[in-house]
Amino acid sequence: MKEITITTQFSVFDSLEDLPNDIYSLMEQAVAIRKKAYAPYSKFRVGTAILLDNGKIVLGSNQENAAYPSGLCAERVAIFQAGAIYPDAKILKMAITAASDTNKTTTPIPPCGSCRQSIAEYEIKQDTPIEIYFMGETGAIYKSASLKNLLPFLFDKNFL
């Protein structure tokens, strides 16, 4: 048997005010759309704002359904919308924020596994990294320089 070690690295910002101006604005838009999420079952609201290389910003919030598998996470709502409306644009940055209606989220909330796989598809397609910033309702914000940093063993078209 052989062991391998994989390391990842994140930048940590203590608060929104510590973010660069462009990311602060992107995260503020993610917070605003988070508040419009349709989350009557989980009471867990997520908002995402995506900055494209054409300067456009695409927003998404989680959309739940009584038939749970039919809902979609905010990250996938935004990324699929970006892919549909601006198919040739590259995704530069994503800002993600999550909050619960029942308790305060103060630790950074990363994308779920399904969202990581969907983001990976676009990062591979465009052949450039996507910066991902994520936070809870308040507190620190983590920055990942790419999706590969969050999902080092990603599944892609090369396995098919």
- For residue 65, say whether it is annotated as part of any ligand binding site: yes
- For residue 73, say whether it is annotated as part of any ligand binding site: yes
- For residue 158, say whether it is annotated as part of any ligand binding site: no
Count of other CB atoms within 10 angstroms of residue 146: 16
3 carries an active-site annotation: no
- For residue 82, say whether it is annotated as part of any ligand binding site: no
Q: Which of 28, 75, 131, 137 is catalytic?
A: 75
- For residue 115, say whether it is annotated as part of any ligand binding site: yes
DSSP state of 107: S
Q: Which residue numbers belong to the known binding site for Zn(2+)?
A: 73, 112, 115
- Kindly list the catalytic residues: 75
Q: Which residue numbers belong to the known binding site for substrate?
A: 62-68
